[in-house]
Amino acid sequence: MTAVRLSYKALVEQARAIIEATLRDPDAAVHVEKASRSRPAFVVVSQQFEGRTQRERQDMLWPALEAELGADATRISIIFARTWDEVK
């Protein structure tokens, strides 16, 4: 039996919800753009990233995305994880 692949819209919606639930930061912002081959790229801004390395920031997000989305998580092009100070 073949797994059903999520549509682009469903992938973006589910990934956004997973990121927001993982961060539990009401002030977080999640911006999405289409990257190459219609793969979403995310810019996530949250103070939860303050004082963390880029690796630690990615480790906060990817395990939850992979657990919830399975193989569809590989369709996410990139996640830029920034603090509010870094985007000013």
Residue 4's pLDDT is 81
Q: What is the CATH number of the domain that holds 69?
A: 3.30.300.90
> HEC states along the chain?
CCCCCCCHHHHHHHHHHHHHHHHCCCCCEEEEEECHHHCEEEEEECHHHCCCCHHHHHHHHHHHHHHHHHHHHHHCCEEEEECHHHHC
Band the pLDDT of 65: cuts 50, 70, 90. very high
In a domain, 3, yes or no: no
Count of the separate structural domains present in the chain:
1
In a domain, 1, yes or no: no
In a domain, 82, yes or no: yes
In a domain, 71, yes or no: yes
In a domain, 47, yes or no: yes
Domain extent for 66: 8-87
Residue-wise pLDDT for 7-63, tens only, equals 999 999 999 999 999 999 999 999 999 987 779 999 999 999 999 999 999 999 999
In a domain, 2, yes or no: no
Q: Whole-angstrom Cα distance, residue 76 to residue 74?
A: 5
